[in-house]
Amino acid sequence: MYGSRGAGARASVAVAGAVLLLAGCSSSDDGGDKDTSGARMSQQPKEKDPFWVNPDGNAAEQVATYVKDGKDEDAELIRRIAEQPTGEWLTPENAEQEARGFTEAAAKADRDALLVVYNIPHRDCGQFSSGGAADGNAYRTFIDQVAKGIGDRATTVILEPDAVLHMVDGCTPDEFHEERYDLLRGAVEKFKSLKNTKVYLDAGNAGWGKPDDIAEPLKLAGVETADGFAVNVSNFYKTPDSTKYGKELSSKVGNKPFVIDTSRNGNGPYTDGDPEENWCNPPGRALGETPTTDTGDDLVDAYVWVKRPGESDGTCKGGPKAGQWWPEYALKLAKASKQ
């Protein structure tokens, strides 16, 4: 079983609303409360969680819709998602504009942007989120555009979900490996050349295999130059399991710190269905720990919501295509949440 296969499918694709953020138009100056069509948004204190909450995200819009329709109970459930910062998945077509818009909006709110870069050539091995840049040169241009959009604003980048893992698990053909390593190293170096950008290279999850198998590939991909690595992106493994996996891996890559995606891991992974599709819109899942940099562990830099809860993993189990907002699923995640 490839516990992470299809993270691309689970990865939400950035929505068109990103371009509307070019001037940081919707955030309050202090990053606190924000009125969105009658639905009021707030977020945690900056010292607990420095990342920016997008007041125009799908969850915030859903809260506003429920408030307008008098569905107050549903609105409060979705608010559990809307008031937490989530990763913004950049689209190649508007990479520079989106990166600038998100980071400017975050800076205006005195917060850090959380961006996900997901455009490696031969992405997702032909699955739900297949595609990516046409070739290496196109990818380098894309990375340059993202970096230009970020500028000197405080930003954390989650770099290429599954890109390393899919070389290890056999999903990505051998002939693409050398170029992919080169592209990932180049992306890490580009982002680290920016004044206030941190970059975490995706490193799989607690269920796919052994840390020994991915440690050297991560080094080839530039993890030693990066700020660290990310685990459990778009996946469901509980935080203690993810922490154990991350610490074992850290010990093999220079004791690098890591971040954990806790967006949907409240009930752990789904194990009752087809093992090859247990990652795809699994029933009975729940929101995990709320995002924070106050993890109580020196090796765990943050709990982050890289995956945006409530956005579909793909056209399975009745879901819409990958990345589309699915309010019914979002409500189930929030109802099951113990947070």
The pLDDT, as a whole number, for residue 54 is: 96
Quote the tokens at residue 198: 């941190």
Tell the burial category of 318 from Cβ atoms under 10 Å away from its Cβ (0-12, 13-18, 19+): exposed
pLDDT, one tens digit per residue, over 130-152 is 789 999 999 999 999 999 999 99
pLDDT band at 21 (very low <50, low <70, confident <90, very high): very low
232 is an annotated ligand-binding site residue: no
Consult the annotation and say whether 238 binds a ligand: no
Phi, psi for residue 189 in degrees, rounded to 5: -60, -40
283, 7 Cβ separation under 8 angstroms = no
- The length of the chain is 339
By the 8 A CB rule, do 176 and 122 touch?
yes
Q: What gap in Å lies between CA 78 and CA 309, rounded to an integer? A: 10
Residue 106 has pLDDT above 70, yes or no: yes
CA distance 91 to 99: 9
Report whether 221 contacts 181 (CB < 8 A). yes
The single residue of 56, 112, 162, 301 carrying the catalytic annotation is 162
CB-based contact 153:32 (threshold 8 Å):
no
d(CA 293, CA 301): 6
Q: Is 313 a catalytic residue?
A: yes
Does 89 belong to an annotated binding site? Answer: yes
Q: Residue ranges per domain, the chain? A: 7-336
The pLDDT assigned to 125 comes to 76
Percent of the chain residues topping a pLDDT of 90 = 81
Q: Is 189 annotated as a binding residue?
A: no
Closest CA to 242 of 302, 182, 325: 302
Is 162 an active-site residue? yes
At residue 275, what is the residue type?
P
8 A C-beta contact, residue 301 and residue 259: yes
Tell which residue, 59, 124, 113, 62, has the closest CA to residue 89. 113
Residue 65: is its pLDDT beyond 60? Answer: yes
**Coil, helix or strand at residue 8:** helix
Whether 52 has a binding-site annotation, put simply, is: no
Catalytic residue among 74, 112, 124, 202: 124
Q: Under a CB-based contact definition with an 8 Å cutoff, are residues 115 and 150 in contact? A: yes
Give the amino acid at 63.
V
Q: State yes or no: pLDDT of 28 exceeds 70.
A: no
User: Is 124 in the active site?
Assistant: yes
Mean pLDDT of the chain: 89
- CATH superfamily name and code, 7-336: 1, 4-beta cellobiohydrolase (3.20.20.40)
